[in-house]
Chain A
Amino acid sequence: NAGVTQTPKFQVLKTGQSMTLQCAQDMNHEYMSWYRQDPGMGLRLIHYSVGAGITDQGEVPNGYNVSRSTTEDFPLRLLSAAPSQTSVYFCASSYNLNGGGKDTQYFGPGTRLTVL
């Protein structure tokens, strides 16, 4: 198993550009989520999905879109990048969030994004 993969590892954008951060998992997990991590702010939830076709907003969703057309993939779209979106982005997945140990989150390696 490759686990959770994210591409690209690094990206530099100019203000106003759009891009998609890719996330894929091969563990047949229902639950997937996106976090951003900034110094002093910890991990903040952007969007999450409890299954294909179902997405919802987290703590900091503004400026980001998601979709979940398959169980495996959960891309994060930046529609018009802003310097405030400079951050490290992590994708995570788990079987569910219902307890019993199946909600252990598996994280990808992260994408380091800089918006100039």
Chain B
Amino acid sequence: SQKIEQNSEALNIQEGKTATLTCNYTNYSPAYLQWYRQDPGRGPVFLLLIRENEKEKRKERLKVTFDTTLKQSLFHITASQPADSATYLCALVQAGTALIFGKGTTLSVSS
């Protein structure tokens, strides 16, 4: 069956460090992958999209990698801040008909 797994439910790091979140998938051949941020009590907000022919994508302090051989995407937040504390979701398009989400990783950045 098709699966999207975000390996850690929770990740705690200190301010200034780099946070690395993992998204693994099985039985998919996605053309691209998306990352979203969700704050408590709010809907997810789109952050980044990376295509299968792109190894890496950056936006300010965010970096996403996509390894189709490993079937894995890594999401990095450099110089993390307490304001980065949130749940981060990865998502794949399934057969062009639906966007399927992983369960998310809750990041806590302490000062």
| A residues whose Cβ falls under 8 Å from a Cβ of B | 4, 33, 35, 40-43, 45, 48, 50, 56, 58-59, 90, 92, 94, 97-99, 101, 103-110
Contacts and interface: CB of A to CB of B under 8 A. Distances in A.
Given A33-B99, A42-B101, A110 B43 contact: yes
A21 B51 CA distance: 34
Given A107-B44, A107-B45, A108-B43, A43 B96 contact: no
B103 interface: yes
A62 B15 CA distance: 44
17 contacts: A4-B43, A41-B103, A42-B89, A42-B101, A42-B104, A45-B98, A56-B97, A97-B98, A97-B99, A105-B34, A105-B36, A105-B91, A105-B99, A107-B44, A107-B45, A108-B43, A109-B42
Contacts, number: 61
Interface residues of B, number: 24
Contacts of A104: 34, 46, 49
A45 B43 contact: no
B43 A109 contact: yes
B28 interface: no
A85 B103 CA distance: 18
